[in-house]
């Protein structure tokens, strides 16, 4: 990923926003400011500044900031690996929280995230993640009465 590729993501977001503007149905009621006026303005401003950003990223006179270019902040090797473990851990949590409950899915998520910080996947990392997830569930569900669902569940 670099500034150009990030610009492409912004262009994609612009495209999505413009497409969504065309999907806003016309109101049958009279309104000084219709449902689409402010969205059109917001998307217009977004598109305009994204174009300026792309122009800046292509112009050779000014280099846009990317932390990856900074000597002191440069990432270490295996960035893709680390980000993949983070994504996998979080995805597991999203998919499993309903069928398996908060604590089990939270523990798996914890293992993935700790792996993304270069901790080896082991029984120890699972136990620490389990303890963290169980403590958070107790704090929110039992003490603060926030409904996180069951700690464990096996509904497939």
- Alpha-carbon span 147 to 8, nearest angstrom: 40
Neighbours of 25 (CB within 10 A): 7
Give min distance, CB of 125 to other proteins, in A: 8
Q: Is 21:39 a contact under the CB 8 Å cutoff?
A: yes
Nearer to other proteins, 144 or 156 (CB): 144
Q: How far is the CB of 136 from other proteins (least distance, A)?
A: 5
Q: In terms of CB distance, is 70 or 154 closer to other proteins?
A: 70
Residue pair 109/89 in contact by the 8 Å Cβ criterion: yes
Q: How far is the CB of 127 from other proteins (least distance, A)?
A: 12
Residue placing its CB nearer to other proteins in the complex, 117 or 154:
117
What letters, b where the CB count within 10 A reaches 16 and e where it falls short, cover 118-139? eeeeeeebeebbbebbbeebee
- Rounded least distance, CB 152 to other proteins, Å: 15
CB-nearer residue toward other proteins: 25 or 60: 25
């Amino acid at each position: 990923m670099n500034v150009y590729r990030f610009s492409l993501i912004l262009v994609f977001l612009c495209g999505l926003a413009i497409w969504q503007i065309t999907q806003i149905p016309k109101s049958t009621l009279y309104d000084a400011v219709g449902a689409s006026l402010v969205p059109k303005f917001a998307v217009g401003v977004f598109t305009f500044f994204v174009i300026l950003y792309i122009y800046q990223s292509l112009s050779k006179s000014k280099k846009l900031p990317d932390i990856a270019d900074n000597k002191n902040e440069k990432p270490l090797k295996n960035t893709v690996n680390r980000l993949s473990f983070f994504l996998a851990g979080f995805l597991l949590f999203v998919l499993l929280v309903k069928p398996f409950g908060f604590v089990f899915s939270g523990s798996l998520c914890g293992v993935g995230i700790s792996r993304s910080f270069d901790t080896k996947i082991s029984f120890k990392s699972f136990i620490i993640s389990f303890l963290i997830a169980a403590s958070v569930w107790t704090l929110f569900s039992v003490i603060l009465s926030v409904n996180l669902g069951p700690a464990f569940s096996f509904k497939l």
